[in-house]
């Protein structure tokens, strides 16, 4: 005989669905069990009244059947009654897990929205900064550069010409650094990550770099000494915006760590299997050696990784960190050769490449003549920058 299926009613009571489809609750089950047990007991009492031994045996058998039936029915009742409770508990646990997952997803959505707003705010701030740099630094720097060119074309004595040339070199470096910064800020959007390499006149670059630091060296009573052997190539490959900055950083660091004596900038060729493969620039000083703390700070600056210098670096360490990053961007390396208690010395090694001759298109540098009917006419010049207007007027008056 098949057992029934138990369900739970809205009132909290349990009912059983019989195989025939008839349902009855727990109270009905108790009543039926009582009737069955009473009937069996009554039959057992009747059998006990029989005088034959068979009646006693039948009575004992009836008692045993009653006890086993009661135990089996009670066990089945408890088992069928706990199954819905377990299912309900499992469903409640699943519902709680789903609710917690929804809450976690909601928190992540809020965090993503906040991050998106922060990124948009940072992008807007960067765009405003770039516009400010372009308007307030690049344009005046280029105007100052043009004014310096006009000043050098005027009647100046030798000393004034030298000062004007140094000023032009400094302004060129500033303008090139600003242009490089603006280009670097836009590279993530354009996908361009490499800077153009050109052939740079090493001798002129070293002389201009020494002239920029000449006054600073005199204030510290230091002598600047450069040693460029004649065996060096006339030009070396490099990024115009990075190589001058790299030399200035290293020479500035050497001057900062020098108290007396001389500051040397020595150049030499590094060879591989007898073939010149790289150029080595050594920035060293004489006089008292650097302390152990300074040496540890310098090595720490060269050991740092990443694109941004750590906050624990001082000004000298940051300059050395930037110099190493610039050297790596040009395929070179920066090595600190400063034993404890001895003079400061850092070696910049840059790879050499075969120079590629620049194209010389026809008509380069020539200015076409205006027709006679277009000469001596008035020109309307409009510019919102006073320096640019002055430069343009001066060029038109030549």
pLDDT digits (tens, 9 = 90+) for 262-276: 888 888 887 776 676
1 pLDDT higher than 50: no
pLDDT at 352: 79
Give phi and psi for 283, each to the nearest 5. -110, 110
Average pLDDT over residues 139-148: 76
Using CA atoms, how far apart are residues 340 and 297, in angstroms rounded to an integer?
12
- Condensed to tens digits (0 to 9), the pLDDT of residues 198-207 reads 788 888 888 8
Q: DSSP alpha helices (H): ranges in the chain?
A: 26-49, 53-133, 139-152, 158-190, 202-212, 214-219, 243-256, 292-303, 315-329, 386-397
Q: Which residue has the tokens 């230091």?
A: 222
Q: What is d(CA 129, CA 201) in angstroms, rounded to the nearest whole number?
A: 33
Question: Where is 381: in which H helix or E strand?
Answer: none
Q: Give the pLDDT score at 247.
A: 87
Region 236-257 average pLDDT: 82
* Nearest in space to 398 (alpha carbons), one of 129, 230, 154: 154
> What are the pLDDT digits (tens) for 150-195?
788 888 888 888 778 777 777 777 777 777 777 766 665 444 445 5
Those residues with Cβ within 8 angstroms of residue 98's Cβ, 6 or more apart along the chain or in another chain: none
Q: Percent of the chain at pLDDT above 90? A: 2
- The pLDDT, as a whole number, for residue 207 is 84
Q: What pLDDT is stored for residue 94 in this prediction?
A: 87
Read off the pLDDT band of 10 (50, 70, 90).
Answer: very low
Mean pLDDT of the chain: 71
Per-residue pLDDT of 18-44, as tens digits, reads: 444 444 444 455 556 556 666 666 666
Range 22-29, long-range pairs (CB < 8 A, 24+ positions):
26/77, 29/73, 29/77
- Buried b vs exposed e over 162-190: b needs ≥16 C-beta within 10 Å? eebbbbbbbbbbbbbbbbbbeeeeeeeee
- Tokens in use for 110? 């809020």
Q: Compute the average pLDDT of residues 365-375.
A: 59
- Specify the length of the chain in residues: 398
What does the pLDDT look like over 88-137, one tens digit per residue?
777 888 888 999 999 999 999 998 888 888 888 888 887 787 777 777 77
Give the residue-averaged pLDDT of 9-14: 46
The crossing angle, in degrees rounded to 10, of helices 292-303 and 315-329 is 40
Average pLDDT over residues 239-263: 83
- Burial of residue 62, with CB atoms counted within 10 A of its CB: 0-12 exposed, 13-18 middle, 19 or more buried: buried
Q: What is the pLDDT of residue 355?
A: 42
Point out the least confidently predicted range of 153-157, 169-173, 208-212, 332-336: 169-173
Confidence of residue 354 (pLDDT cuts 50, 70, 90): very low
pLDDT band at 323 (very low <50, low <70, confident <90, very high): confident
Q: Could you write out the DSSP letters of every residue in 250-270?
A: HHHHHHHT--SSEEEEEEEEE
Q: Give residues with Cβ within 8 angstroms of 310, minimum separation 6.
A: 304
Separation of CA 101 from chain center: 30
Separation between Cα atoms, residue 94 and residue 188, nearest integer Å: 46
Using the predicted structure, report yes or no on whether residue 8 has a pLDDT greater than 50: no
pLDDT above 50: residue 285: yes
Which two structure tokens, joined as six digits, stand for 281? Answer: 């620039």
Shortest CA distance to 343 belongs to which of 295, 299, 300?
295
- In this prediction, residue 65 has a pLDDT band, given cuts at 50, 70 and 90, of low
């Amino acid at each position: 005989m098949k057992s029934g299926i138990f369900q739970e009613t809205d009132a909290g009571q349990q009912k059983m669905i019989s195989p025939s489809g008839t349902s009855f609750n727990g109270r009905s089950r108790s009543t039926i069990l009582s009737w069955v047990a009473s009937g069996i007991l009554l039959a057992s009492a009747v059998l006990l009244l029989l005088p034959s031994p068979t009646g006693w045996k039948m009575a004992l058998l009836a008692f045993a059947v009653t006890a086993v039936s009661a135990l089996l029915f009670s066990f089945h009742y408890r088992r069928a009654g706990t199954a819905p409770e377990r299912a309900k508990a499992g469903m409640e646990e699943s519902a709680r897990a789903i609710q917690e997952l929804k809450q976690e997803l909601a928190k992540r959505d809020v965090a993503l929205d906040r991050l998106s707003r922060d990124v948009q705010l940072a992008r807007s701030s960067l765009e405003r900064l770039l516009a400010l740099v372009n308007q307030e630094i690049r344009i005046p720097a280029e105007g100052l550069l043009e004014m310096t060119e006009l000043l050098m074309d005027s009647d100046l004595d030798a000393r004034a010409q030298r000062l004007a040339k140094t000023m032009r070199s400094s302004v060129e470096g500033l303008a090139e650094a600003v242009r490089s910064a603006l280009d670097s800020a836009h590279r993530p959007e354009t996908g361009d990550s490499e800077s153009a390499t050109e052939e740079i006149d090493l001798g002129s670059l070293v002389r201009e770099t020494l002239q920029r630091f000449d006054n600073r060296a005199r204030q510290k009573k230091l002598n600047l000494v450069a040693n460029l052997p004649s065996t060096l190539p006339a030009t070396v490959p490099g990024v115009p915006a990075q190589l001058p900055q790299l030399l200035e950083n290293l020479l500035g660091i050497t001057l900062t760590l020098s108290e007396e004596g001389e500051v040397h900038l020595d150049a030499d060729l590094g060879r591989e299997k007898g073939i010149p493969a790289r150029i080595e620039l050594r920035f060293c000083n004489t006089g008292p050696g650097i302390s152990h703390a300074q040496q540890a700070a310098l090595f720490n600056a060269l050991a740092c990784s990443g694109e941004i210098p750590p906050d624990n670096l001082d000004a000298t360490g940051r300059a050395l960190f930037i110099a190493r990053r610039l050297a790596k961007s040009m395929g070179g390396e920066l090595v600190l050769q400063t034993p404890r208690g001895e003079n400061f010395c850092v070696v910049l090694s840059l790879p050499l490449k075969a120079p590629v001759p620049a194209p010389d298109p026809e008509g380069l540098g020539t200015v076409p003549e205006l027709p006679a009917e277009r000469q001596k006419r008035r020109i309307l010049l409009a510019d919102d920058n006073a320096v640019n207007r002055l430069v343009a007027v001066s060029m038109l008056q030549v």
